[in-house]
Structure 1
Amino acid sequence: MSKPVKIETPTVVETLSIPVPSTNGNSKVNTNGSSSNGLKVSDIKLRPRHVSGGTEEIVDPFCDPKNPQRISFHDVTSAAFLIKGGVERTPCPKSTSSESYGMDLYLKKDFLQYTGSFKERGARYALLSLSEEQKRKGVISASLGNHAQALSYHGWKLNIPVTVVMPTAAPIMKIQKCRNYKARVIVDGNDMGEAKSLAMRMSIDENLLYVNGYDHPHIMAGQGTIGLEILEQVPEPDAVVVPVGGGGLIAGIATAVKALSPKTKIIGVESEKCASFSRAMENKGPIDTSIKNTLADGLAVPKVGYNAYCTAMPLIDRMVVVKEEYIAVAILRLVEEEKCVVEGAGGAGLAAILAGHLDDLKGKKVVVLLCGGNIDTTVFGRCLERGLAALGRLVKFNVEVSDRPGGINDLCALLVRIGVSIKDIMHERAWLRDIYTVEVKVVCETLDWSHSLQLKNELKKFYAKVEFSDVPLALMDNSNADTQNPLIAT
């Protein structure tokens, strides 16, 4: 079980009411986008900063590392008031599998928003908070998909021009969705870093407001409205489990939940391939983190936001990191048991439960956020197969059989008798040690681990050489997560 991480409160900021950055830390913002000191959102512009070596760095004043800002409960309630009626109030039903998980498990289904993710909340609030002048000029942002779709959709509905810069790695489906929402879409940059640099440069050249997808104070406040809904739908939960990428989502939710239900634990979940928030906690501040390809691409942020970090750190009770295989299994379980199609980021919370990281919550009331459902069709198929393999329900093996007539037929008859479903089968002659045998490669589906073990034992009775391919994890009934795959054991 993952050990709780000790939280240290950052000392770099005081609590602010956002959104306008202020030199004195006392600026408050009204719903028309103007602050108590007379400054308007439209007056804030990205400014170049010269650093050592003459390099020009563009700094977003809403996300300034030297002046990080916390959002307050008032900011979240203001956001809830403004976006009411503009976004869905998503359901939070009790899981049909609560008993099997040993807890009262509730699923907050924010993937049911129109564009398929929670990002709509912050995007709409950020757009509604613009001054009239900035609404005419428009906004710009860089995103791999969900934030771009949310900003494009609500910009279209509110008649505010939106430009999104998406890296070449962005899914074609998401690029087309943004175009369907009448946004100006620029596909450029090999990664998010390059796309963001281009977007920020364009914001200066074209006098557009840059809206950071996870660290802009309005974005965080908007996402926090999920926390308000959770407490209305599930009073006094023992814990709320939140997927973590750039940190804006958990910062907003934690701000809302801790204000109304201080005893409720806030637990963040990251993939092992993109544990940027955990790295930030170890470093006592945001730090660049190496990101690897992950099923939870929506969480793949190399550096958490400074505002998000400073807001969330005093409020998070624990961070856990899960293996990719558990995310795949979570996606599979949600499809089979809850009839929910989610992306990798959306399944991260349930993955933490499947991995045994939250066993201390058994018997308690737990809310897991399903934050997004925008998963590429081909990736979805691969996720399901990977989940089946991790559960021992999709098995791959090689077996040498006689090359005489009927040899492969005998093998198939054995598989049918055992009751497995053959998914793929092929044979190889050329590279074997003799000309009297043929190697058959088989992929088949079984009921569970015990069925797979039965398959192995039956094959061993009739064939001298049988090799089962490795499977990432052995997950049996939510337990024995670290045991060796019994199909590989000698």
Structure 2
Amino acid sequence: MIELADVLEAQDRVRATSRHTPLEYSHTYSSMTDADVHLKLETFQRTGSFKIRGATNRVATLSEAEKDAGVVTASAGNHAQGVALAATRSGVDSTIVMPEYAPISKVKATRNYGAEVVLDGTDYNEAAQRAHELEETEDRTYVHAFDDEYVMAGQGTIGLEIIEDCPDVDTVVVPIGGGGLISGVAAAIKEKRPETRVIGVQAEGASSAATSLEKGERISLDGVDTIADGIATRSVGEKPFAHIQEYVDEVVTVSDSEIAVAIVYLLERSKTLVEGAGAVPLAALLFEHFDYEEGETIVPILSGGNVDLNTLTNIIVRGLVETGRYLKIRTVLKDRPGALEQLLEIFTEYQVNIYAIHHDRTSREVEMSDTEVEIELEMRGPDHVDAFLESLREEGYVVDILA
């Protein structure tokens, strides 16, 4: 078990490389929740994620022989960049194994930080198997993404910064993948301020820690499925699980839809780009997955901002759908002049903005005298969507909601 002293030592080691990131009060989320919400913006950290902290602390503790032999690790992206930069700054050769479907932006960034990147496996666990093979054959030191005391202590420096910047914090909300971040943060906070709650959050599609706590033992999932790729691990680490059992007050899960909504809110209201893993603490707060009191001071840790831009478009659309801002419908019209104009009169009445219309006379799903229409729409919220759809159906249109 790591202690406060380990985190304080880590703080001295990582100070020259990592940044003391901002802790900003959010009027928006405070108003939405009736709490006192402050965002810990690790999105502004070097490499765009908290991972540089733990990686720097681990590399700093290598012996000279270990530095000469180099390091190896596996990562979905953020830990990869942290290890690559920490190793390069220390003159240590690094090889990083990343899943074959890791975001392109994270693969390129890792290479730019000086590491050799090997793409292998469908997820973190398969990539880790390949990395351990390289550890054996090349005599490198394996820098674990989360199941390592030095890595955990390095991540715990976030907890020290939160207590320094917000001494009266009531609740800290932390994402959980393998558990290295929450282990270090919880150890630091609970020893500095025992009355502060630490809430862990996982994606529903990668809920190894939550499931392990329910069963009372560490379990491994058969697979993971979530937009939060940074926390998409099949199992929580052995060392982190012990810390979670000891220090963490509660672990909850959020859906991908809720994560998408949190990302959209952060982009639109906070002008902050956050990846799925970094958005889960805010999602848990906004959708009330844990109890809190009015006026309670809550700090969600936005752990990273390295979202793949190819994925971001889909996430934004999903978030807009969930908040009633985007609607895609299908209906059938008689294939005759004026039919579409008649439909659009309802659109005008409800001031619905049209993104696109696809008009298909050849669909086998409709009669030859009919035509199928798919329409993408900009809406103003759930109430607007409900009223608009009700009006369409009252006028006799059969409407299928596609998104």
TM-score, normalised relative to structure 2 = 0.95
Give the distance between the partners of 1:455 and 1:443, measured in 2 at CA.
Answer: 14
Alignment of structure 1 residues 10-409 onto 2, 5 Å: 70-97=1-28, 98-409=30-341
Label 1:167 to 1:432 Cα distance change in 2 as closer, same or farther (>3 A): closer
1:413 CA displacement? 4.2
Kept in 2, the 8 Å contact 1:96–1:338? The answer is: no
Give the distance between the partners of 1:451 and 1:367, measured in 2 at CA.
Answer: 33
Paired residue secondary structure (1:87): coil
Give the distance between the partners of 2:16 and 2:2, measured in 1 at CA.
Answer: 23
> Residues 113-165 of structure 1: CA distance to partner in whole angstroms, max 9, x if unpaired?
12111101000111111122222221111111111111101211221111111
Mean Cα deviation higher: 72-81 or 203-212? 203-212
1:403 CA displacement? 2.0
> Residues 184-225 of structure 1: CA distance to partner in whole angstroms, max 9, x if unpaired?
212223333332122112212212110100111111000000
Give the distance between the partners of 1:432 and 1:204, measured in 2 at CA.
Answer: 59
Paired residue secondary structure (2:295): coil
Give the distance between the partners of 2:402 and 2:374, measured in 1 at CA.
Answer: 14
Paired residue secondary structure (2:48): coil
Q: What amino acid sits opposite 1:452 in the alignment?
A: V
Give the distance between the partners of 1:181 and 1:465, measured in 2 at CA.
Answer: 56
> Residues 239-272 of structure 1: CA distance to partner in whole angstroms, max 9, x if unpaired?
0000111011100000000011110000001111
Flag structure 2 segments of 5+ consecutive residues without an equivalent.
none
Kept in 1, the 8 Å contact 2:332–2:366? The answer is: no
1:458 maps to 391
> Residues 430-467 of structure 1: CA distance to partner in whole angstroms, max 9, x if unpaired?
335544432211121111111112211332343x1232
Give the distance between the partners of 2:129 and 2:390, measured in 1 at CA.
Answer: 58
Q: What amino acid sits opposite 2:243 in the alignment?
A: T
Q: What amino acid sits opposite 2:392 in the alignment?
A: L
1:309 CA displacement? 0.9
Paired residue secondary structure (2:24): coil
Kept in 2, the 8 Å contact 1:96–1:337? The answer is: no
1:359 CA displacement? 4.1
1:88 CA displacement? 1.0
Kept in 1, the 8 Å contact 2:393–2:399? The answer is: no
Kept in 2, the 8 Å contact 1:397–1:466? The answer is: no
2:372 maps to 439
Paired residue secondary structure (1:381): helix
1:410 maps to 342
> Residues 164-191 of structure 1: CA distance to partner in whole angstroms, max 9, x if unpaired?
1112122222222121122121222333
The structure richer in helix per residue is 2
Give the distance between the partners of 2:67 and 2:367, measured in 1 at CA.
Answer: 76
Flag structure 1 segments of 5+ consecutive residues without an equivalent.
1-69, 472-490
Give the distance between the partners of 1:393 and 1:421, measured in 2 at CA.
Answer: 11
> Residues 457-487 of structure 1: CA distance to partner in whole angstroms, max 9, x if unpaired?
332343x12324276xxxxxxxxxxxxxxxx
Paired residue secondary structure (1:424): strand
1:375 CA displacement? 0.7
Kept in 1, the 8 Å contact 2:156–2:186? The answer is: yes
Give the distance between the partners of 1:185 and 1:388, measured in 2 at CA.
Answer: 35
Kept in 1, the 8 Å contact 2:110–2:117? The answer is: yes
Kept in 2, the 8 Å contact 1:395–1:443? The answer is: yes
Give the distance between the partners of 1:396 and 1:172, measured in 2 at CA.
Answer: 29
Mean Cα deviation higher: 118-127 or 192-201? 192-201
Kept in 2, the 8 Å contact 1:255–1:312? The answer is: no
> Residues 3-23 of structure 1: CA distance to partner in whole angstroms, max 9, x if unpaired?
xxxxxxxxxxxxxxxxxxxxx
Paired residue secondary structure (1:236): coil
Give the distance between the partners of 2:270 and 2:377, measured in 1 at CA.
Answer: 25
Paired residue secondary structure (1:349): helix
Which structure 1 residue ranges, 4+ long, deviate > 4 Å from structure 2?
none
Q: What amino acid sits opposite 1:91 in the alignment?
A: P
Q: Could you say which structure has the larger radius of gyration?
A: 1
Percent of aligned pairs sharing the same letter: 38
Paired residue secondary structure (1:396): strand
Label 1:163 to 1:433 Cα distance change in 2 as closer, same or farther (>3 A): closer
Q: What amino acid sits opposite 1:412 in the alignment?
A: L
